[in-house]
Chains A and B, each alone.
Chain A
């Protein structure tokens, strides 16, 4: 049977991906360029008995999804950079209280209001370090309408599996462009639900590490009573200032994502012509599409260029970038900011090759010509 296909905008694909993943609650606040995600879900969610609520502000939107998630719902909010700035308080709450949720950030420039209708990739470090305190981050950076669909599904899976906020960042270009999308059949993509407790209510502790680094999460209203707080807490969920508990919990919450085993499961990259590459282009989101074009053009001229495209941006693909840094003569990092991920690539290659940033922050997309020119300069 032929698959259902459509010509669709990235933001619409995101909303349909959320529905595919089993999202039943959306809390949001209007902001350009993400609003279509909310508009589609306000239409789709009630059809399946799900809930859509437009809250009074960005913080409230984040709060509402966390409240809903604690009742067992799969939850989503969608916003842009200024909205994520406001949500940071409760992204931190979701980290420490370990509440699954997905946050869509359709990126524009900044700081502040910036250029709301222009594209940007200016929130990639904010995604990692925006909220205060030590915490792990999962952030995905799809580059096409189709991939927005599949990565939104994966974001839900990761949020549920690792019991934490997962951010999906894509720039306004992919958010608003229309492309052909093939809808996966039901069951074709994996859909993961959070692990529920296997112990009876009287034995349940919300942060019980005897079940591993990701403790099962019960739902309010399901017969399990427990306490949730943003304070440092012990395994029973109640606040503590005991050094050994605080330390153990903080380290576990980072390890559950950045530990060796978890990294392998969370990281996702695409490599294009990297095997024999002498110059590597590290690019993500819509910029990676310009980069792929540039690599093809360079190859035609006999220049051995390759593309590394992270689909999971955080945790950062440290091992592979470190290895590629030893293989190539230079790494070029084009991005619609002034070198945010360039910093991370530099950190990881530890000087084994030059790392060159191409930044663009004028509200225009990075074009292949800029990348081609830069590669030729280092070649």
Chain B
């Protein structure tokens, strides 16, 4: 399981950071960073809400 951030697409809106229920993500300047991957519960909220196709949650 991994969270992939496609940095080239990320515009730094921070929607994913805000709506992650487990506080897995944080902003690193204008780009999102996967800060606490082990806390991820695969709810997919970040991937669903990212307007920029910049986050993928790989569950296998």
A–B contact, 8 Å CB criterion (strictly below): no
Interface residues of A (CB under 8 A from B): none
